[in-house]
Amino acid sequence: MKNIIIANWKMNNSFDEAESWLESFNEKISNEENLPDIVVCPPAILIDYMDELLLNSELEALENKGNNIDELEEKEIEKLAAKIRKVQIGGQDCHAQINGAFTGDISAKTLKDAGCNYVILGHSERRQYHFESDETVNAKVKTALENNLMPILCIGESLEIREENKYLDFIKKQIDGSIPQNIEIENLIIAYEPIWSIGTGKIPSIAQIDEMANFIKDEVEKNKNIKVKNSKILYGGSTNSKNAKEIMAVKNISGMLVGGASLKADEFSQMAKLSF
Ligand code: PGA
């Protein structure tokens, strides 16, 4: 299975900044053969715009390769473009319902329509500022799957829980509570993000990341009611181009969820190359 690197822009970047980021990022990876899957999760309002920018550059590339776009049907063009797409787009959250009276919320169905294939769910900032429980996250994961979005499920303990040495129990509870049970799940991405490491510049030791990746893998396999066929475990929290290589070398780590460092196209492109 291919590794994956995911940019979580959070509430950052304007339309102009998103455009120059994409231009610069594309330039930096254009000649690179060995890339992991790459996903960018911008603020929701930028999704459709970024999808269009990506499509335009793909059409240009197809034309440069001698395809006569004007003669093709729209569906066919989209298929060809999707084949050469190097950057996928994801949402940062979705609601558990696909429509209804939920002011300010975002539907998984609309994310999919706008060009997303992924959605981050249960990020600690959503759990903290929007009071999302495991139960809420669980319902969102189910809805995302039903709408053909790959959930990027975030879990992770606070510093207090780590220091009290209760982190394994806490993570087990998050896994059991946030992953829908007794339904077949083909693919799931689980991002381990210790809260004390997000945006702080502090990262766990490699031994600690290794311990958590093994623990999460075992727990997903051990719980008979969790029927996930393929899972990828990612690390997130203060990753950058300097620590990426070491983190990616951890046995059960298949990628990274990147916050701050993903805002710089150059830095993120270096991290992508190191994540292959
Ligand atoms: P950070 O954020 O890389 O800025 O620590 C990671 C995240 O919140 O996903």
Structural domains in the chain (count): 1
Known catalytic membership, residue 193: yes
- Does the Cβ of 260 fall within 6 Å of ligand 1? yes
- Does the Cβ of 236 fall within 6 Å of ligand 1? yes
Phi-psi region of 88 (alpha: psi -120 to 50; beta: other; left: phi over 0): beta
| Enclosing domain of residue 244 | 4-274
- Does the Cβ of 186 fall within 6 Å of ligand 1? no
**Which atom of ligand 1 has the smallest separation from the CA of 240?**
3
Q: What is the pLDDT of residue 254?
A: 98
Radius of gyration for the alpha carbons in the chain, expressed in angstroms and rounded: 19
Q: Which protein residue has the closest C-alpha to ligand 1 atom 2?
A: 259
**Which atom of ligand 1 has the smallest separation from the CA of 262?**
3
Q: Which residues of the chain have pLDDT under 70?
A: none
Q: Which protein residue has the closest C-alpha to ligand 1 atom 6?
A: 259
Q: What is the pLDDT of residue 120?
A: 98
* DSSP 8-state secondary structure symbol assigned to residue 114: T
Q: What are 77-110's pLDDT values in tens digits?
A: 989 999 999 999 999 999 999 999 999 999 999 9
Euclidean distance between CA atoms 70 and 84, whole angstroms: 18
* Cα–Cα separations (whole angstroms), residue 38 to 15, 45, 245, 273: 20, 20, 16, 10
**Which atom of ligand 1 has the smallest separation from the CA of 237?**
5
- State the amino acid at position 2 in one-letter form: K
- Does the Cβ of 122 fall within 6 Å of ligand 1? no
CATH number at residue 166: 3.20.20.70
Q: What is the pLDDT of residue 103?
A: 98
Q: Which helix (H) or strand (E) holds 255?
A: strand 255-258
- Cβ contact 162:202 at 8 Å: no
| Residue 148 token pair | 């053909």
Q: Which protein residue has the closest C-alpha to ligand 1 atom 9?
A: 259
